[in-house]
Amino acid sequence: MPVTDWTDADLAAAAALRDRALKGTSAYEHVSSLVTEVGPRLAGSAGDEAAVRWAMNRLGKLGFTGVRTQDVLVPRWIRGTTEVTLLGPAPQPLVAATLGGSIGTAEEGIEAGVIEFDSLASLSTGQASDIKNKIVFINERMERTRDGEGYGKVVKNRVQGASVAANLGAVAVVIRSVGTSDERFAHTGRMVYDVSAPRIPAFSLSNPDADVLSRQLKTNKQTRLRVKSSAREMPSTWSANVIGEIPGTDRAGEIVLLGAHLDSWDLGQGALDDGAGVAIVVEAARLISRMDRKPSRTVRVVLFANEEFGLSGAKEYARLIGEEHAKHVLAMEADTGIGPVIRLETQVAPESLGAIEKMRKAMEPLVIDSGVNTASGGADLGPLRALGVPVLDPVLDATLYFDVHHTMNDTLAKVDAKTLDQTVAAYAVAAYLAATKQGDFGRLSPVPFDR
């Protein structure tokens, strides 16, 4: 069906919704409730289980309909304790974190010399004779950017570094944290073992401690580290996606999806990643439910299980909806902290771009730029996007986000209520207009999803 314009009444209702959000929302209260009543929510943990109960209760109290869960099998990993110690003439403990999914060490740890590389690419061309029986140190700093682009350039060090190093004979790997802070907070995050490589322990160092190690190596090539970790993998267990809806009127069978992930890493409170995202999509939908002019389509909120450790919830949601994916008109995700929204990016049919521009203009007082039509939509939307579901990506300001991302400093203190309100306003307007259009946003070409 070709995309058609919104009526003046639809646009007026969207403007009123936007202005209502800017006057103040309950988004901060949602984040505060989640981190205070639940706290960290690592997949498969007691906190994860408590988060599912919290979400069911919260959505029910807020008046969502069809509140339900989808059972999701998730991996379970225990961090245990972490020690990284710089040895030699100036011995000192370094601030470090075991990377998510890493194996642990024997009780006595691993002591070895260190060899430094400035990127995964340079490690890949390293000589096994230089690396064998050493600890590889990947020292590549993440660039601070407003849209978070710097993250994608260095996160491969965390994900692939251990296997690349192991195939060259390394006994462990340490990386400079994938983060932008100069405070002594180590950033965790998921690493992945290649089945073709031996498994070795993997750690991240805070940026200041990475600097210490690099300086030592410049003056003493014989610098040694001792690394210890009691991390261990446990049998998989059950978690759940949590779903709630604001029902549509005459086209209730068509879905506009708002997604965020309910799990978090274990080091901090998960306030920015992704408590803020949960609050944004829940509050945007709640505000739509209070409108006099109801949406034609159903607005569905999905709080996904285990985004951090492999997108278990996103994959299971896409599997379980089956052919219903064709009824998903547009999907949006919130997973980059509090915002504000600075740009609208999309992956929709080219003939829908005019409608997206009209949508952006309805947000005009929020100062949001237009963007490309090649957006990913976010990690949890990957399986849906692969099925052909169009995505809208409100790009959030990530200038400070990666200072605390995946660290113990991801706390409620970093959440600003007024910034959240601007972000909620943008999501609410986008979801409402998507749910009131007579036309759709086309379909994408289905592609394999193998992440």
3-state helix, strand, coil in the chain (%, to 5): 40, 25, 40
Return the axis-axis angle of helices 8-22 and 417-436, rounded to nearest 10°: 160
Residues 135 and 172: beta-carbon distance below 8 Å: yes
Quick one: tokens of 313? 């919830």
User: Helices then strands (H, E): number in the chain?
Assistant: 13, 16
- Gyration radius of the chain over CA positions: 23
Is 284 strand, coil or helix?
Answer: helix
Nearest to 392 by CA among 374, 368, 405, 410: 374
Which residue among 116, 307, 308, 345 is the active-site one?
A: 307
Is residue 345 within 8 A of residue 371, CB to CB? The reply is yes
Give the span between the Cα atoms of 22 and 15, in whole angstroms.
11
183 is catalytic: no
User: According to DSSP H, which parts of 276-381 are helical?
Assistant: 277-289, 312-321, 353-362
Q: Which of 246, 258, 398 is nearest to 329 (CA)?
A: 258
How many whole angstroms separate alpha carbon 118 and alpha carbon 410?
27
* CB-CB contact of 22 with 425 (8 Å): yes
**Any residues with CB less than 8 A from the CB of 220 and at least 6 apart, and which?**
88, 89
The one-letter amino acid code at 171 reads V
Instruction: Count the Cβ atoms, other than its own, within 10 Å of residue 379.
Output: 18
- Which residues carry out catalysis? 307
